[in-house]
């Protein structure tokens, strides 16, 4: 039994060492996020042609907002086209979109058991839009619930032209539409931290950015060279990122323009979303580990890009280790309580416990509290207030449990990549997002009022029609 105890404690020590290593790695990376965020590219006149794709499955409640948003971008209308990809919709998403002047591509499952989800509809849309690589320079992707900075196309145009021939993908700042409640607050905190102290920091180090699922642009030549959209996992964005990196492509970060994404507010909605993310992440990591090593061998990636990508591919491991440590600790406690093995010495004095765990405590406070307040101040203009501290800590503790459970479930289910679990969307408020300033909000409302009334009128007509036909 003594041997078993030694093995268990040794395993726990190894796992603790890996967790600390990952925290230190993130600590070092974060230092490069304190740099003042000035544009690292020059401004160019509008030149590039954008193809904008917006996948939508039963999104009639929010689709009007992104259509209005896209119709009022600060970019010549003749230089961009946008399509709403109404995928297997059973509501009036396609009807509402067409009535508001959007181009719509409708797709349906060929068979009841056919796979569904964003990767499928993107693949089908690019097949329908044959010759897109000749008509457009960039394909830009958004989700149906997003709101977008009006100058996004202009900034992406300038950044791409400033790095012409050196960039294939550009990812823009990922903002949150909502932060109320313990679940949404955690999303807001983590995105605020990662945008500046991971994405922006990696950009300052010359490393590829993470592709975040929405608000990113891809060079049409590279996309066509890949055979269209062929990243088919549940995390198609992560798969594209890893494959592009292994191909030696460059992924840039744009800290100057934002998309705003609606975050879940309910526990089980968040758990489902995070489990889906984990399923896709583990699948892509296992599938592409060998490919990444081969890319290093053939000098398609640099040593620092290899290390950065490998660590990100297995960034979920600490959560698995936390769960294993919890289980092993429970086993040791049960063995001690039942007398199978001698007691390890009882309760550890508080001062000793603090001394042993002080580095981890400081890393936690730095990573989740200090970095959040700094990022929130620098990027969102919000000042530090003590009244937010307790909700933040509670949110972090609660969601760490949820995230850990999601990673375990995702690992167990990682081979299942065909069923997409949709996240419901409903938020339609500009002011709450900080998308644009107050003066701009007033101007935008004047320009968009007619379209908004049309959207509401359409939904009322749809409801009346449903009642009559029921």
Residue 443: is its pLDDT beyond 70? no
**Region 271-275: what's the mean pLDDT?**
95
Residue 347: is its pLDDT beyond 90? no
**Region 208-212: what's the mean pLDDT?**
96
Radius of gyration of the CA atoms of the chain, in A: 24
- pLDDT tens for 168-190 read 999 999 999 999 999 999 999 99
- pLDDT tens for 357-414 read 677 778 888 988 999 999 999 999 999 888 889 999 999 999 999 999 999 999 999 9
Do 56 and 26 touch, CB atoms closer than 8 A? no
Domains and their CATH numbers in the chain: 12-32+45-427+448-461 (3.90.550.10)
pLDDT score at 434: 43
Give the pLDDT band of residue 422 (cuts 50, 70, 90). Answer: low
Give the pLDDT band of residue 449 (cuts 50, 70, 90). Answer: very low
As a whole number, the mean pLDDT across the chain is: 87
**Region 289-312: what's the mean pLDDT?**
97
Do 266 and 183 touch, CB atoms closer than 8 A? yes
Answer with the residue of higher pLDDT: 223 or 431: 223
pLDDT score at 452: 44
**Region 120-136: what's the mean pLDDT?**
95
Give whichever of 360-364, 430-434, 453-457 has the largest mean pLDDT: 360-364
pLDDT score at 230: 92
């Amino acid at each position: 039994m003594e041997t078993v105890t030694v093995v268990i404690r040794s395993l726990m020590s190894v796992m603790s060492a890996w967790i600390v290593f990952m925290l230190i790695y993130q600590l070092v990376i974060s230092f490069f996020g304190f740099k003042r965020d000035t544009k690292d590219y020059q401004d160019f006149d509008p030149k590039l042609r954008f193809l904008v794709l917006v996948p939508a499955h039963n999104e009639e409640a929010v689709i009007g907002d992104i259509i209005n948003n896209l119709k009022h971008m600060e970019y010549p209308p003749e230089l961009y086209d946008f399509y709403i990809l109404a995928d297997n919709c059973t509501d009036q998403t396609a009807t509402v979109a067409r009535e508001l002047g959007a181009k719509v591509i409708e797709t349906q499952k060929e068979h009841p058991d056919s796979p569904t989800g964003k990767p499928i509809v993107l693949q089908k849309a690019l097949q329908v839009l044959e010759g897109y690589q000749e008509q457009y320079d960039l394909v830009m992707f958004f989700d149906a619930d997003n709101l977008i900075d009006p100058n996004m196309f202009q900034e992406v145009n300038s950044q791409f032209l400033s790095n012409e021939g050196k960039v294939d993908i550009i990812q823009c700042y990922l903002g949150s539409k909502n932060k109320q409640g313990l679940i949404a607050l955690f999303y807001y905190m983590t995105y605020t931290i990662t945008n500046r102290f991971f994405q922006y920091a990696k950009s300052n180090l010359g490393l590829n950015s993470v592709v975040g699922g929405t608000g990113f642009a891809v060079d049409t030549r590279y996309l066509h060279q890949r055979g269209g959209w062929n990243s088919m996992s549940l995390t198609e964005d992560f798969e594209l990122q890893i494959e592009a990196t292994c191909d030696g492509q460059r992924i840039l970060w744009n800290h100057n323009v934002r998309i705003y994404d609606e975050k879940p507010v309910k526990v089980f909605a968040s758990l489902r979303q995070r489990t889906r993310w984990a399923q896709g992440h583990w699948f892509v990591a296992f599938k592409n580990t060998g490919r990444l090593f081969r890319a290093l061998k053939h000098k398609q990636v640099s040593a620092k890009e290899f290390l950065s990508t490998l660590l990100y591919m297995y960034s979920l491991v600490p959560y698995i280790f936390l769960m294993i440590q919890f289980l092993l600790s429970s086993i040791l406690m049960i063995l001690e309580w039942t007398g199978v093995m001698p007691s390890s010495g009882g309760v550890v004095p508080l001062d000793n416990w603090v001394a042993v765990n002080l580095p981890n405590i400081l890393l936690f406070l730095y990573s989740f509290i200090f970095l959040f307040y700094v990022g929130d101040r620098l990027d969102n203009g919000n000042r530090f207030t003590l009244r937010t501290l307790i909700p933040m800590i509670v949110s972090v503790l609660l969601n760490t449990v949820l995230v850990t459970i999601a990673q375990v479930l995702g690992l167990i289910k990682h081979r299942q990549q065909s069923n997409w679990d949709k996240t419901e969307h409903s938020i339609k408020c500009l002011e709450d997002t900080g998308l644009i300033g107050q003066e701009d909000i007033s101007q935008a409302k004047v320009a968009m009022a007619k379209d908004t009334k049309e959207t509401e009128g359409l939904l009322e007509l749809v409801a009346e029609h449903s009642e009559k036909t029921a």
